[in-house]
Chain A
Amino acid sequence: MADVASGPGVFAQVRLVAGLRWRILRNLMRTRNSRWDIFGLVWAAIFASAFVIGLCWLLWWGAYFSVSTGQYAWLLLIFWGIFLFWQAFPLLIAGFGAPFEFRTLLRFPLRFSTFYIIGLAYGLADFAAVCGTCWLISIAVGVSMARLSLLLPVALVIVMFIWMNITLERLLSSWMERLLARRRTRELLFGLFILLSVSAQFIRPAIIHYSEGVHGSIQLQRLISYLSPFPPSLAGSAIIAAGEGHPLQFLSSVGGIFIYIAVLSAFLWHRFAAQYRGEELSETSAPARAAVNATSIPSERKSDPLGFLSPPVAAILTKEFKYLVRNGFVLISLLMPPLLVLLFSSQFAGKHPSVTHTRITSDTFFPGMMGYLILMLMTPAYNCFAYESKGIRNYYTAPIRFRDVLLAKNLMYSVILIFEIAISMTLLSIRIGLPSTPVFAATLLALVFAVTGQFAIADWVSLSFPRKLEYGSMHGQRGSGVSIWIAFGVQILLGGICTVILLAGRWTQNPWLPAEAFAALAAASLAGYFAALDALSRVAEKKREVLIETLSK
């Protein structure tokens, strides 16, 4: 019989879990194999602290100002802002944090009530929760400093609002976790998320279109009235009612928040109960046998479309293509560039631009749009081994030189770029027309220069600062900090060079000057790229242990 007479209490268990989370974070920082990564992390911490503290100060001042001047309506907006951040941010960054599933604690002898409390407490450790709590405390301080008599009501509202937010956030996360447990759903949802993010940018043009002639403050009042039954409005209304001396209204608002807490808690209790009973979320460990008979698969065609390439390069290119079409998220994300072209062309160019008053000519818009596409599409090239996982060993055990691997990967990116740019160009030509021939030629040559110029650097970064990404998963999708900084720097540098050359054509009034300059630069970068491949192969040999170890984790 086990020696454990009674388990530790709830608070002891919560403390243990908090300690566990802290150790996970600490060990994550210890295992970083690059000083540059720590440098990036320190910078991120500084930015995050400045963000939180800055907003704390701003919200304290906002709350103080709104209460002392009697303009309580601002409080509603502040509560809505915090609420949206608290709920949306954890979902947005779900893939970037250290993966820790508190459900793994189920192996220990926990009572369900303890499991539920730990689940809630776990929600308090999120970045969004820490931010939200700090900001709400700042508001409470601001309101209380403006009117000390509001200290108790505001404290009650803040505590209930925090409770409601944690419960809702845990509920949403729990549902997301369930939905994302299956690969296909995960990939589709991730793709859907990207599409929604892009679509959100159409909201402003739509609002502008449908609310012409209506003043902004009236629009805001209308919006607030529609949102009044929701928790942030209730929290704001409660403080307003307290400030204006309406106890019944205060109680009804607080009661409204309490009902939300009760309903959400009931849902969360139900979700956690399912987890506690041992809900299986993982991928099918033994999927049903495929009904397809081996003989029913059409035999491969005899002709080899990649016959002009060496067998290893063709093999890697084929493998990269298969990986692309099976990664639903990446595949759907390829829809983004054409969508962005449509969006920006409606905002800045065309007959009726929604953002600018004067339309931008296609001679300016076209190169700018292409530059933006390159900025977006080239970023994955800076971590081109991200999805290799343990398969990276194949490149080292096979009798090939690593230059073939890099060449194949860069070829794949080139094919994607050509495909995306061709679609975008077609859309642009329909929406706003193509630019003049010199600008068109200069842009195409600039693309060759910018892409090949980046490939060699991106390959070096991929070899030197590899970071494994989980295929089709939201977890662990954070790239290496230093690779992001380098990618950003290189793209700014190349963008700057291209802009100066394009402007030089205007200053000298020689329309073909940029095309000539870019032709020379493209030739030089192509030559440089092929010359660099052997050197990069040597880097790959030197870095093989780090590469294999990092990607095989």
Chain B
Amino acid sequence: MSEPAILTENLTRTFGALTAVDAINLSVTAGQFFGFLGPNGAGKSTTIKMLTGLLAPTAGRVRLLGLDFAADPVAVKRQIGVVPEGMGLFERLTGTEYLNFVGRMYGLDRETSKRRSDELLHFMQLDDRPKSVIADYSHGMQKKLALAAAVIHGPRILFLDEPFEGVDALAAGALKSLLARMTERGVTIFLTSHVLEIVERLCSHVAIIHKGRLVAQGSLDELRAGVSSDDSTPRSLEQIFLSIVGQGGATRSQLEELSWLT
């Protein structure tokens, strides 16, 4: 059996006394659309940063496409695309200039970089403002541009940190189609999102991190089977998520404490 596209072994990251990610073992098969979920502060972004080389692990190992990240980071980075938290755009470049820049950084020749930039800008409907610098883009437009930059070199693994946040429904639909097509072609997509409906619709496999520890991992069906249910109604991902990470919203007694508000 071929090695997983993403494999972590006891991946750990501490910040002083705080253990943000605690010895997690992830395994994502090539071509999977993988959702990585967790409540705020659970360690999602820290994990994705370690998987993409933005943060060094305190302990453990990351292997992407069979390559050890620590041993050959440059070779690994050639194979991956990233939409990081906060996007990380150079805001004083135009969209075209930024995509050309990223293409060249990944080693594409000038012509290929230019052609792909134009195609991606057209696909993302960003080609009507060629002279606007990114700082003048709306949040959704910046998100689309960040996604375009992440795929310009044809990555084999795509890491997306909240990719649909602020993107309008029209563009989100086009992006979902694009991502689905990429997975059909064997690209592995690792996605974090707080919108569980999106994850449920797009992802075939899911992992849930809570307080730095991996508390669930598997296909949606496997997760559903693992959660007890009183009736035969299939459980939604939200129900699964809430039952795994704990309390589903505020309790009645907590609400009563805010009686002056409610």
- Residues of chain A at the chain B interface (Cβ within 8 Å): 3, 283-287, 289-290, 292, 294, 297, 300, 302, 304, 311-312, 314-316, 318-319, 322-323, 326-327, 387-394, 396-401, 471, 541, 544-545, 548, 552
Out of B52, B90, B107, B127, name the residue touching A397 (CB < 8 Å).
B52
| Distance between Cα atoms of A134 and B97 in the complex (Å) | 53
Give the residues in chain B near A284, CB-CB below 8 Å: 136
Neighbour of A322 across the interface among B54, B97, B131, CB < 8 A: B97
Bound together, the chains give a CA A316 to CA B55 distance in angstroms of 22
**Chain B CB within 10 Å — which of A297, A327, A387, A390 has the most?**
A390
Contact status of A393 and B78, CB under 8 A, knowing A311-B104, A315-B100, A319-B97: no
Query: Of B92, B110, B129, which is within 8 A of A289 by CB?
Result: B129
Are B130 and A297 touching (Cβ within 8 A)?
Answer: yes
Given contacts A471-B91, A471-B92, A552-B86, contact A394 B105 (CB under 8 A): yes
> Least Cβ distance of A542 to chain B in Å?
8
A397 engages B128 (CB within 8 Å): no
CA distance A315 to B110 in the complex (A): 10
Within the complex, the shortest CB–CB distance from B258 to chain A, in Å, comes to 13
Tell yes or no: B196 within 8 A of A by CB.
no
A392–B105 Cα distance when bound, in Å, is 13
Task: Let me know if A393 and B54 touch, CB within 8 A.
Answer: yes
Q: Is the CB of B127 within 8 A of A294?
A: yes
Contact A294 B130, beta carbon cutoff 8 Å? yes
Q: Contacts A3-B260, A400-B74 known; A390 to B101 CB distance under 8 Å?
A: no
Inter-chain CA distance A313–B254, complex, in Å, is 57
Closest B residue to A299 by CB, please name it: B114
* Per-residue contact bits, chain B 67-110, to A (CB 8 Å; 1 contact, 0 not): 00000011111101010101111111100010011101111111
In Å, the complex CA distance between A287 and B129 comes to: 10
Q: Which residue of A lies closest to B131 (CB)?
A: A290
Interface CB pairs A-B, < 8 A, 19:
A285-B138, A289-B128, A289-B129, A290-B128, A297-B131, A311-B104, A312-B104, A315-B104, A322-B92, A323-B92, A327-B92, A389-B91, A391-B90, A394-B105, A397-B80, A399-B77, A400-B74, A471-B92, A541-B56
The yes or no answer to B132 lying at the interface (CB within 8 A) is yes
Set A292, A315, A541: member contacting B101, Cβ < 8 A: A315
| Shortest Cβ distance from A548 into B: residue | B54
> With a CB–CB cut-off of 8 A, which chain A residues contact B74?
399-401
**Contact partner, A398, options B56, B77, B100, B129, Cβ 8 Å:** B77
Which B residues between 180 and 238 are near A, CB-CB below 8 angstroms?
none
A462 CB to closest chain B CB, in angstroms?
Answer: 17
A547 CB, min distance to chain B CBs, angstroms: 10
B91-A391 in contact (CB<8A): yes
- Measured CB to CB, the closest approach of chain A to B97, in angstroms, equals 6
Bound complex: CA A24 to CA B29 (Å): 48
C-alpha spacing A262/B192, complex, angstroms: 60
B179 within 8 A of A: no
Are B88 and A287 touching (Cβ within 8 A)?
no
> Chain B interface residue count: which class?
35 or more
CB distance B109 to A311 under 8 Å?
yes
Distance to closest chain A CB from B197 (angstroms) = 28
Chain B residue with Cβ nearest A300: B114
Residues in B neighbouring A548, C-beta threshold 8 A: 54
> Is B133 interfacial (CB 8 A cutoff)?
yes
* B56 with A544: CB separation less than 8 A: yes
Q: Which of B53, B76, B105, B132 sits near A315, CB closer than 8 Å?
A: B105
Complexed CA–CA distance, A314 and B103 (Å): 12
Q: Which of B76, B108, B114, B260 contacts A311 (CB 8 A)?
A: B108
Bound Cα distance A388, B80 (Å): 22
**Cα distance A390–B109 in the bound complex, in angstroms:** 25
CB atoms of B102 and A394 under 8 A apart: yes
A-B pairs, 4 with minimum CB distance: A315-B104, A393-B88, A391-B90, A399-B77
Establish whether residues B90 and A290, one from each chain, have CB atoms under 8 Å apart when the complex forms.
Answer: no
| Most chain A beta carbons < 10 A, residue from B97, B111, B129 | B129
Task: Write the nearest CB–CB distance from B105 to chain A, whole angstroms.
Answer: 4
Q: How far apart are the CA atoms of A252 and B80 in the complex, in Å?
A: 77
Residues B130 and A390 in contact, CB atoms below 8 Å apart: no
Min Cβ gap B250→A in Å is 21
Given known A-B contacts A315-B105, A318-B101, A398-B106, A292 and B131 have beta carbons under 8 A apart: yes
What is the CB-to-nearest-CB distance from A25 to chain B, in angstroms, rounded to a whole number? 25
B105 touches A545 (CB 8 A): no
Considering the chains assembled together, what is the distance between the CA atoms of A545 and B53 in angstroms?
A: 10
Digit string of B122-152 for contact with A (CB within 8 Å is 1, else 0)? 0000011111110110100000000000000
Report the bound CA distance from A52 to B243 in whole Å: 63
> CA of A298 to CA of B91 in the docked complex: distance in angstroms?
22
Q: In the complex, are the beta carbons of B101 and A286 less than 8 A apart?
A: no
Closest Cβ–Cβ distance, residue A104 to chain B (whole Å)? 21
Contact present for B90 and A394 (CB under 8 Å): yes
Residue of B nearest to A296 (CB): B130
Nearest B residue to A297 by beta-carbon distance? B130
Please give me the residue from chain A that is nearest to B94 by CB atom. A322
Question: Which of B84, B105, B132 has most A Cβ within 10 Å?
Answer: B105
CB closest chain-B residue, reference A387 = B92
Asked if A390 meets B89 with Cβ closer than 8 Å, knowing A287-B136, A300-B114, A312-B104, the reply is: yes
Listed residue (A3, A398, A401) with the most chain B CB atoms within 10 angstroms of its CB: A398
Q: Which of A289, A327, A397 contacts B54 (CB 8 A)?
A: A397
Question: With A and B bound together, what is the CA distance between A238 and B196 in angstroms?
Answer: 74
CB contacts (< 8 Å) of A3 on chain B: these are 260
Q: How far, in whole Å, are A99 and B92 apart by their CA atoms in the complex?
A: 22
Task: Known pairs A292-B131, A389-B90; list 19 more (Cβ under 8 Å).
Answer: A3-B260, A283-B135, A284-B136, A286-B138, A287-B136, A289-B129, A290-B129, A297-B130, A315-B104, A315-B105, A318-B104, A322-B92, A322-B93, A391-B88, A393-B86, A397-B54, A398-B105, A399-B105, A471-B92
